[in-house]
Amino acid sequence: MTREQEIRFDPVHIRFDGIDAESHKIDLAQFGKAALGISKIMASTAQFVATGNYRQTQRKLDFKVLIGPAEDNCITFEAVIEAIENKDVAVAFLACGGLLAANIITDVYRLVFKLLWNLFTSSKDSEKTQQELEQKLDGVYDKETISKLIDTVHKMADGLLPAAKNATQPINISCETLQFGDTHKNYFVKLDVSDKQAIIDRDFEFTDLEQHRVIISEIDMKNATCMVSLQDDLKRRFKARITDPQIEQANNDYGTATNSKRSVTITAKKKLDKGIVKEFIISDINLGTEISSE
């Protein structure tokens, strides 16, 4: 294949905002993990768009991801996708002369990220993204082929979960958000700590909402976390994450419960790892003395 025949992809703008990134800095160890994850996601997606195949092993990919020029604000850089030298990349499986491949790369990235984060915006939003991609493929391929391609995107998203964990590593440690954008700096994906948590939670099972009598301690209002001890087993303490909106209010019930050191009733799901409780996800609190019979 000549250089003229190679598929050319526009660079992707990657931007870190907040915490260290506000001063144009980022933790190098965290950034290194993020770079590994971003590279795997982008190269795998480029491979799929160019050939119609998903390859799980990075060394078998025909594309590499290079860092392009940085910008003098926040922490930003371009991720440039190029074919690996001496590898024969097939003329675009999805493309007519490579044109379609270049046009749909952003759509595929967008869908992959939404699937990776377990439809972190909403299921309807993810369905809309998928429909937009299907519309671009319509007229080029029949419905059966399009269905197979979309199935491959779903499979690819599942396989890229470890890479997604790496990509979001700096969030809430050295930056607040991570964004991916096109050449016009229209950022089509913006990830924050809740999205990072959504990835982590993919590895666990969750119980239904239940009520528990607990004592709350070590509350962190900023990060909405605390420790809880069950009333019938006060020697053990569990990590807890508070999703109840009132945690953001001054003088909320969680602060009152912590200060009083008295038992309260929480409504929560338990996050399980092979049956072992790793965390309580608290959605409500009742400072009363009894568990509701409802």
Over residues 260-284, the pLDDT tens digits come to 999 999 999 999 988 899 999 999 9
State pLDDT tens for residues 206-260: 899 999 999 999 999 988 999 999 998 888 999 999 999 999 899 999 999 999 9
Mean pLDDT of 52-66: 79
Q: Give pLDDT, residue 246.
A: 94
Structure tokens at 286: 């009742």
Q: Give pLDDT, residue 290.
A: 64
Q: Give pLDDT, residue 63.
A: 82
Residue 95 has pLDDT above 50, yes or no: no
Mean pLDDT of 169-193: 89
Phi–psi pair at 291, nearest 5 degrees: -80, 135
Q: Identify the bridge partners of residue 181 per DSSP, sorted by sequence position.
A: 13, 187
Measured CA to CA, the distance from residue 131 to residue 176 in angstroms comes to 30
Structure tokens at 78: 């371009």
Q: Identify the bridge partners of residue 230 per DSSP, sorted by sequence position.
A: 214, 233
For the chain, what is the mean pLDDT? 82
Measured CA to CA, the distance from residue 144 to residue 158 in angstroms comes to 22
77, 70 in Cβ contact below 8 A?
Answer: yes
DSSP 8-state assignment for residue 19: G
Query: pTM for the full model?
Result: 0.69
Q: Give pLDDT, residue 80.
A: 82
Between 250 and 49, the higher pLDDT residue: 250
E-assigned strands of 3-146? 12-17, 63-71, 75-83
